[in-house]
Homo-oligomer: A and B are copies of this chain.
C-alpha cells in the first residue's frame, strides 16, 4: 500500500464512527437486577455527591479573614474599679484576647537579696555552709549568696538568694476573683473575603451605629450582633464561670461561615460556637494564667509589681467554606458517577455468566472466539491456532 493510499485511508477512516456492538439479553430477572443496582448507585451518587457534598460547586475553603475584638464592662474589685484597660490584654484587639479574672499580686519587688522559698530543693539550712555560693536552682528564684538567713519573719532559716525580693511565694497577695466579670461583653467584628468569588461579608450590619455595642447576640433575633457576655460564652462552652475564675481557661470562639453563593450572598450569615480548648479532664494541667509586671522607679531604684493573672483567653478561630456552581467539577463528578455505574455491568455480567447462563447461550453470543472459524490461514507469529482449536470451548473465560 502506498503512502498516499495510506493517508487517504486514514483520512476517510478518521471520519467513521465506531460504536461497540451490544448483545441484548431478554432476561427479565437480569434486567431487574441490572436496573436495581443501577438505581441504587445513581441514587447514592446523586444524594451523596450532588446534594450532600455539593460536588457540582467550585469551593473556596481558605478565605481572608480579619478579626477585631473589644472588651467592655466595668466592675468593682474590693476597693478599686476595673475597666477594660485594666483587665483586657493584649490591648490591640486581635484574634486572641484575654480577660484577667483573678490576680495574685506581689508588690514592690526590687533586685536584692532575701531568703529562698523553703520548698525549693536544698533551700533549708542551719548554717552558711549548707548553701553553695553561686548555685542557681532551676526551680528556685535566684542565685545563692552562700549565706543562711532567717525566712522573713519566721523562725527557721533558708539560703539567701540574689533575686527580685521579696519572693512571690512569700509576699503574694491573693485578690478575690472578679465575679462581676460575668457581665462583661466582648464585641467580635469579623470580615471575610472569598477572593475566588470576589465576595466580601461581615458579621455586622451596616446601618446601626450606636446600638451595636449595646445589643446581645441571639442566633434568631439578633444574628448581626456579635456581642457576647462572658457568662454566655462560658455557658455555651459548658463551663462554670466561677470555676473559670479560679483556674482560668482558654475558650475557642469559632465563627463558621458556610456560604452557598448559588443563593443570595446576603443569606450567608455566620454561626458561632464555643468550646473550651485547654483540656478539662486533667485538672492539674488545665487552666490559663500568665505573669506580667508593672515597673516603677523611686530615687533611681527600679521596683516592679509582679502580677500572676488568671483569666479567660478567647481564641477567635474563623472557618470559611463557600461554593458556587462551576462547570468543570460538575463534569468531573458526573463522569465519576457514570463510570461508577459501570460497576453494575461488571456485576451483572458476572451474574449472567455464572448463574444464569447454564447452556452457554449468552457466553457463546457475547464472546466471539476468534479461533473457531479462521477465515484465512494464520501467519506464524500467531500462536493462536496451535492451541486455539483444541480449546475452542474456553472462550467464555474471564471477563474483567
Contact = CB atoms under 8 A, between A and B. Distances in A.
A370 B363 CA distance: 11
A284 B366 contact: no
B23 A20 contact: yes
Interface in A276-332: 277-279, 281-282, 284-285, 288, 290-298, 303-304, 306, 313, 315, 317, 319, 328, 331-332
Contacts of A313: 92
13 contacts: A9-B391, A13-B394, A13-B397, A18-B22, A24-B397, A66-B277, A74-B137, A90-B92, A91-B292, A206-B282, A206-B285, A210-B284, A339-B342
A349 interface: yes
Given A92-B90, A285-B206, A336-B335, A379 B397 contact: no
Given A23-B370, A31-B15, A200-B279, A356 B328 contact: no
A24 B395 contact: yes
Interface in A1-38: 9-10, 12-32, 34-35
B359 A376 contact: yes
Contact of A92 (B72, B275, B290): B290
A15 B292 CA distance: 78
A164 interface: yes
Given A22-B21, A35-B14, A381-B356, A143 B331 contact: no
A79 B179 CA distance: 42
A74 B358 contact: no
A21 B366 contact: yes
A13 B391 CA distance: 9
B200 A328 contact: no
B399 A18 contact: yes
A16 B279 contact: no
A93 interface: yes
Taking each of A48, A62, A74, A284, which has the highest tally of chain B beta carbons within 10 Å of its own beta carbon? A74
Nearest to A369: B24
A76 to B, nearest CB: 5
A202 B279 contact: yes
Nearest to A389: B26
Interface in A174-215: 180, 183, 189, 191, 193, 200, 202, 204-210, 212, 214
Nearest to A86: B293
